[in-house]
Amino acid sequence: MKATFKRTLAIAIPAAITAALASGAAQARDPFDKEALDKQNAQLLELVELGYNLWHGSNPEMSSNGLACGNCHPDAGASNPQTFPKYIQNMNRVVQWGEMVNWCVQNPQAGKALALESKDMTAMYAYAMNLHRGLPIQPGLAAQQTKPIPVKYGKGFPSKPSGIGFDTK
C-alpha cells in the first residue's frame, strides 16, 4: 500500500472544493491497489477458514460433549450475525452475536466461553458473516437466514473436516 496522504488544501477557493467533492477527489489518500486489496482479502479468508474449523470442532475447549456448532448450525444456518444485537429469550435481554455464541458454547456444548475480542471469536464471526452478508435481515424462520452456497460437492473450504464428532474421550 502506498502511504500517500494528500492534504486537501480547502482554503480560499470554494469553487475548487465543490469541484473536488463532485469528482470524489476529496479523499485522504489513493484507493487501495489490487495488490493491497488481495492481501487484505487473503487475511480475511484465512480467518474465515479458521472460523469454519472452529465451527466444526477444532478447539476442544469449546465443547466437553463432542458437539460443535456445525452439528446444529450447518452452513451457519439459524445463526445469522446480521440479526444481532437482538433480544434473546433465554437471557431476557438484548445481546450481541458473540454473547449468543458463548451461550451455545456453554449450554448445548458444555464448553468454555471465548473472550469476545479473541481471534477465535472474530474468526467465527468472519465465517458466519461470510455466509450471510447481503441476506435480508429478518427475525423469522431459520430457512430465510441460511444462504445457499455455490460450491460443488466435496469442496467447501479447502481445509479437511477437523474433528466434528470425533470423540475427545
Footprint of ligand HEC (CB under 6 A): 62, 67, 69, 71-73, 78-80, 83, 97, 100-101, 104-105, 108-109, 124, 142
Residue pair 118/102 in contact (Cβ under 8 Å)? The answer is: no
Q: State how far the Cα of 58 lies from the Cα of 49, in Å rounded to an integer.
A: 11
Q: State how far the Cα of 100 lies from the Cα of 113, in Å rounded to an integer.
A: 10
Residue 105 or 126 with smaller CB distance to ligand HEC: 105
Residue 77 Cβ, how far from other proteins at the closest point, in Å? 4
Site for other proteins in 131-160 (CB under 8 A): 141-149, 151-156
Compute the radius of gyration of the chain from its Cα atoms. 21
- Of these partners, ligand HEC, other proteins, none, which one is at the site of residue 101 (CB under 5 to 8 Å by kind)? ligand HEC
Q: Given candidates 45, 78, 115, 137, which one binds other proteins under the rule CB under 8 A?
A: 78
**CB under 8 A: which stretch of 3-11, 20-28, 41-49, 100-108 binds other proteins?**
100-108
Q: Given candidates 56, 101, 124, 132, which one binds other proteins under the rule CB under 8 A?
A: 56
Q: State how far the Cα of 80 lies from the Cα of 48, in Å rounded to an integer.
A: 15
Q: If binding is defined by CB under 8 A, does position 90 make contact with other proteins? A: yes
Residue pair 112/61 in contact (Cβ under 8 Å)? The answer is: yes
Residue 24 region by backbone torsions, left for phi larger than 0, else alpha for psi between -120 and 50, else beta = left
Q: Given candidates 7, 9, 35, 89, which one binds other proteins under the rule CB under 8 A?
A: 89
Residue 102 Cβ, how far from ligand HEC at the closest point, in Å? 8
- The binding site for other proteins (CB under 8 A) comprises 56, 65-66, 70-75, 77-78, 89-90, 103-104, 107-108, 141-149, 151-156, 161, 163-167, 169
